[in-house]
Amino acid sequence: MHSHSDELWLVNPRCEGKILQGVTTEIGGNCGTSVAPLYAAALAKKRRDAADYRLDVQWTSFDAFFTLVEREGVALNVASLVGLGTTRLCIAGPDARRLEREELDAQNRLIRGAIEEGALGVSSGLIYEPGRYADLAELVACASAARDAGAPLYASHVRDEGDAAEDAIAEALAVGERAEVAVQCSHHKAAGTKNWGKVHRTLAAIDRARTRGIAVACDAYPYVASWTELATVLPKSVRDGGDEAALVRLRDPEQAAAAALAVELARDPKFGGDGWDTILVTGVSSERNAELAGMRIDAIARRWSTTPPRAVIRLLVEEELRVDSAFFSMSEDDVAAVFSASFCSVGSDASARAFSGITARGVPHPRTFGTFPRVFGRYVRQRHVFETAEAVRRMTSLPAQQFGLRGRGQVALGMCADLVVFDDEHVVDRATYENPFVPPDGIRDVYVNGFAVVREGAVTGARPGRVLRRGPSTSS
């Protein structure tokens, strides 16, 4: 339902970390970032990111990317949204401003082109650069462009998942209502101890919108830690204008000191913050600080004999902001409450990693290898949030319906043979935050389009996956 594999379908086409969980189809292009379209600043950023995996970006359009995936082969079915952060980068670069009318028109042309080439809808990432500069009017215009092109779906990493979570959900619902599109609220949560319990109000808001006729749903992952860029702790004023502008500010001693103070106040438990021991560094871009993966920020600060805020600034500068971290910010009861909603699907919010090789770097979030088995072990058998059959629906027919994937998501005559054979009494995750590179137990066989990609718990190496482009049928 919600993944970030994207170009990794080319880097790791066997997709071991996903198929061993029973995943047969992945939706990419989430949180405002997609593999296409790529022009100007968007192309430069994608080339820089892909270089980490020694991948040569040979495409600029969805059609070219999808054709490349089809030529190389992939173990599971793939589909994508078009990211509004990516399209904005194409048009206006990292500028922190409202788009001019002609720029918005150009962005909407890119959106329509992407959907004509097979994208399923649009996505936004409203805490990331440059997506967070989009106002409601821009989001409505972009979602409307997708609707007019035949893909009326808006998926959003909403503008705030903590203090202003209710306002952020209201904004997503407003986009759906004004643009007349379906809305997918990505990885629904309430982050930060002081915000625990807010999910009951945000879920109620979604439920009321559904009653009014808005096709809105959400997805979630079965963990209490999120996983994103460490740079999200920085004040918005530091991040304005993109990474290069932020690094200029952070390399200036006076501005770095001011940023450290602001970050310290935001994380101080005395003011409702969650403290520095709740942030786990999971990966960095260079070998210089590779040994820090798996360490908490407070421990890194002690190693460097400095304060946690200054350790964060130093690490971000040395790694040019490219630091991933897990944030232990959610309540187990809140996660269960979100899953209790009948309109909540299961998503991993993770990329398709392998157990060795270039994608096995760092200490990734355990959801990379354990999401779907964990739902059965934790929320079916332990917490009794739903029964096995309902858990399966949340992973199959519900997301297939939301994304319009015809011919998939059900076991029935005439449907595509994407099938998982598993032991419902014993299936469980084994990946942990300390040791994530561990496959789950209890999943025996996985078939994609009728071909075995996992047999008796072992990856076969087959690549029978298909690109599911938007159109009259996504089954072929």
For the stretch 216-260, pLDDT in tens is 999 999 999 999 999 999 999 999 999 999 999 999 999 999 999
- Beta strands across the sheet bearing 122-125: 82-83, 122-125, 153-157, 182-185, 216-220, 344-346
Give residue 473's pLDDT. Answer: 44
User: By C-alpha distance, which of 217, 236, 245, 212 is closest to 164?
Assistant: 236
Is domain 8-224+330-459 in CATH 3.40.50.300, yes or no?
no
Give residue 260's pLDDT. Answer: 94
Give residue 265's pLDDT. Answer: 87
Q: Assess contact for 18 and 371: CB atoms under 8 A.
A: no
How far is residue 356's CA from residue 363's CA, in Å, rounded to a whole number? 12
Mean pLDDT of 400-422: 96
The answer on pLDDT for 83 being more than 90 is yes
Mean pLDDT of the chain: 96
How far is residue 188's CA from residue 382's CA, in Å, rounded to a whole number? 21
The answer on pLDDT for 150 being more than 90 is yes
The answer on pLDDT for 272 being more than 90 is no
Mean pLDDT of 200-229: 97
Give residue 271's pLDDT. Answer: 66
Mean pLDDT of 158-164: 97
Question: What does the angle CA 434 – CA 438 – CA 444 come to, to the nearest 5 degrees?
Answer: 155
In this prediction, residue 475 has a pLDDT band, given cuts at 50, 70 and 90, of very low
The answer on pLDDT for 474 being more than 70 is no
Give residue 273's pLDDT. Answer: 80
Give residue 429's pLDDT. Answer: 98
317-373: per-residue pLDDT in tens? Answer: 999 999 999 999 999 999 999 999 999 999 999 999 999 999 999 999 999 999 999
**Where in the sequence of the chain do the CATH 3.20.20.140 domains occur?**
8-224+330-459
